[in-house]
Amino acid sequence: MNNLLDRFGAFFVQHLRDSMVDDLETLLDGSCKADDVQDLQIWLAGLGTKDKQMLRNLIEQISTTGMHDFLFALQEEADNGGDIRLLVNGEEVAKQSDGMHGELFGEEGWIVRHSRHHSQQQIDLSRWAEATISQIIDVPKA
């Protein structure tokens, strides 16, 4: 495992995805003290358990898609000699991966390994994708 890439992955997941999920959980449990979110917290308190879970799933999906798209754009910049570079200890992280956006996923991906909020949904999706890809390209199972 590439240490620089993994270090960036942990930082990225914990400071973006986990932060967003933590904020949602704070709003859902009604413990946010900021005046500008009190109406929102009251509205959220009226949601049922199923609706709250759907909201968690939505936030997870949106944050994961945004992270994927951002990493894809960084990878494209690096691959095409663009001006934007992301360095860890002076080394360009995108050059450490053949596709940073893919590093998020899988049972060994950044979300599962580094997030305080990795979900079974993410693991199940990764297993489904692996099985589907294996069927498409007829990869023998180990």
Tokens 């099985």, residue?
131
What would the mean pLDDT of 112-136 be, rounded to a whole number? Answer: 77
The residue-averaged pLDDT of 89-117 equals 92
Q: Please write the tens of the pLDDT for every residue from 31-76.
A: 999 999 999 999 999 999 999 999 998 998 899 999 999 999 999 9
Q: Is 142 among the domain residues?
A: no
Print the domain residue range for 105. Answer: 3-137
* β-strand partners of 92: 87
Phi and psi at 16, nearest 5°, equal -115, -70
Rounded to two decimals, the pTM is 0.83
Q: Please, what is the end-to-end C-alpha distance for the chain in angstroms?
A: 21
Number of domains present in the structure of the chain = 1
CA distance 17 to 38: 23
* Residue 133 included in any domain: yes
Residue 42 is assigned to a structural domain of this protein: yes
